[in-house]
A = this chain, B = another copy of it.
Amino acid sequence: MDKKISMISVLRLGHRLKRDERVSTHVGLVARAFGAGEIIYSGDKDNNLINSIRKVTKKWGGPFRVRHEKNWKGVIKKYKKNKFSVVHLTMYGLPVEKRTRALRKIKNLLILAGSEKVPGDVYAAADYNIAVTNQPHSEVAALAVFLHELNKGKETKFRRAKIRIVPMERGKKVVEK
């Protein structure tokens, strides 16, 4: 029987105050919306960022955890010790479509989502360097498409949501509890 993925964590590398605020927020929201269980921000400590993701989870449901860790190397080391496989999303890696089937069998995944400059040793620390197209685009897009593929496009179910959208052809419909 296949082992199923039971925990997906996302580690955002090298967050910088101000400059990365919005992109890092998008990375966190994508992690949550596409089925990861947590996001860890490394780089600058940014309480606004962390609070904004927590607010979304409180309103739209979870479970989804957020925290800051200064030392990304320490995070990778700890997760590897806890039997996580490490996937680094990079335009230089092997095409995602050639690896998803294998990756779906892994039990625990730590996904590294880089910012502009990723240190060379990230490539060595990762078990898999995976490219979502070998073109320059966006870590937000790479994470979304990767998780979407990993979950075969299945939508994540959220618990304890205070608010929920009723999909519509036109207009906005929201149900509050």
Interface centre among A34, A153, A167, A173 (most CB of B within 10 A): A167
B34 touches A167 (CB 8 A): no
B34 touches A133 (CB 8 A): yes
CB distance from A95 to the nearest CB of B (A): 6
Q: A97-B153, A148-B148 are in contact. Are A137 and B30 (CB under 8 A)?
A: yes
CB-CB under 8 A from A141, the residues of chain B are 26, 30, 33-34, 140-141, 143-144
Q: How many angstroms from the CA of A148 to the CA of B29 in the assembled complex? A: 19
The bracket for how many chain A residues form the interface is 35 or more
Q: A97-B153, A140-B26 are in contact. Are A134 and B167 (CB under 8 A)?
A: yes
Q: Which chain B residue shows the least CB distance to A143?
A: B141
CB distance from A150 to the nearest CB of B (A): 12
Interface centre among A169, A173, A174 (most CB of B within 10 A): A169
Task: Identify which of residues 103-129 in chain A touch chain B, using a CB-to-CB cut-off of 8 Å.
Answer: 123-124, 126, 129
Task: Identify which of residues 129-164 in chain A touch chain B, using a CB-to-CB cut-off of 8 Å.
Answer: 129, 131-138, 140-145, 148-149, 153, 155-156, 158, 164
CB-CB under 8 A from A168, the residues of chain B are 92-94, 129
Q: How many angstroms from the CA of A124 to the CA of B168 in the assembled complex? A: 12
A153 touches B149 (CB 8 A): yes
CB-CB under 8 A from A158, the residues of chain B are 135
In the complex, which of the residues B22, B129, B142, B169 contacts A22, with contact meaning CB atoms closer than 8 Å? B22
Q: How many angstroms from the CA of A147 to the CA of B29 in the assembled complex? A: 19
A60 touches B129 (CB 8 A): no
